[in-house]
Amino acid sequence: MMTKIKSIIIDDESANRNLLANLLNKHCPNIELMGSAASADEGKILIDQVCPELVFLDIKMPLKSGFDLLKAFDSIDFHVIFVSGFDQYAIQAFEFNAVDYILKPIDYSKLITAVNKATERVLQKNNQNIIHFVRSIDEKSQFIKNISLHANDKVHIVDLSEICYILALRGYSEITTLSNQKFISAKTLSDYEELLAPMENFLRVNKSVLLNINHIKDYSKGTVCFVNIKNCDDAIEVSRRKKTEIVQFLKNRPD
């Protein structure tokens, strides 16, 4: 017997709610729709009443956003599939945090994929840690402002501006912060390079290092260029191709 997933839709536009409901009824028979809401406030009431396992949540709504709705909960025991218009930074944030999402206009095949992934999470009781994800997002730009990093069985919330550099280590990364703390991340250097691309201060200075050039203390003038980092003993070699870019930045940096 198929396991039904109790679900609701929250979207301010009735046409979007109806379209999504029709697609779910047609292509996702394991989804049991328990209702829909047209605003964040209505959505909060509906969630409290229905106790859904899965919420299809529009992000941009008048008055309060989907993020505002989630911030109203001290803890979240339901899973979320975000429904979003195309936004490059938002998509990077979703994928970096392994958060389920679908884009408008909705493609039914991608809807099925997202529902299957969310269903697996629901059945395995795999917590998405949605609250941290929402609090890590700058709502104006929908860009990540901090990330969670693990060390000694603790989760540390690190502001991106505090990262000095990220070092590639055979399929994972080591992150060094301004306080000279080091964290290991399962994400690759390429993952971080893509995520941080909108932030102009992060630059790939050689094959293995993504550097926050705001934290450069000084650099050597020899044929081989090394930069020294604030509060760190590490000296990082800069490739010849990137040397000119680094030197130009430092010359133009305000004192």
216, burial (CB in 10 Å: exposed 0-12, middle 13-18, buried 19+): buried
Round to whole Å and give the CA distance between 235 and 218: 10
CATH number of 152-252: 2.40.50.1020
**Residue where the block lists tokens 């991608």:** 110
CA-wise closest residue to 59 among 115, 129, 12, 108: 12
Give me the pLDDT at residue 219, please: 82
- With a cut of 50, which residues of the chain have pLDDT below it? none
Helix ranges restricted to H, the chain: 14-27, 40-50, 66-71, 88-96, 108-124, 130-135, 189-195, 240-252
Give me the pLDDT at residue 254, please: 63
**DSSP H or E stretch at residue 144:** strand 143-144
Give me the pLDDT at residue 14, please: 96
Round to whole Å and give the CA distance between 37 and 147: 31
Kind of pairing, strands 143-144 and 163-169?
unpaired
**Residue where the block lists tokens 């989760």:** 155
With both helix axes pointing from N to C terminus, report the angle between 108-124 and 14-27 in degrees, rounded to the nearest 10: 70
Round to whole Å and give the CA distance between 161 and 233: 19
CATH number of 5-138: 3.40.50.2300
Round to whole Å and give the CA distance between 170 and 101: 29
Q: Which residues contact 135 (CB under 8 A, 6 or more apart)?
A: 71
**Do 31 and 43 meet the contact criterion of CB atoms below 8 Å apart?**
no
Give me the pLDDT at residue 177, please: 92
Q: Which residues contact 131 (CB under 8 A, 6 or more apart)?
A: 70, 71, 73, 75, 76
Give me the pLDDT at residue 116, please: 94
Round to whole Å and give the CA distance between 92 and 79: 19
Instruction: For 52-79, give one letter per residue: b (16+ CB within 10 A) or e.
Output: bbbbbbbbbbeebbbbbbbeeeeebebb
Round to whole Å and give the CA distance between 122 and 75: 16
Q: Name the residue ranges covered by the structural domains of the chain.
A: 5-138, 152-252
Give me the pLDDT at residue 3, please: 84
Give me the pLDDT at residue 86, please: 66
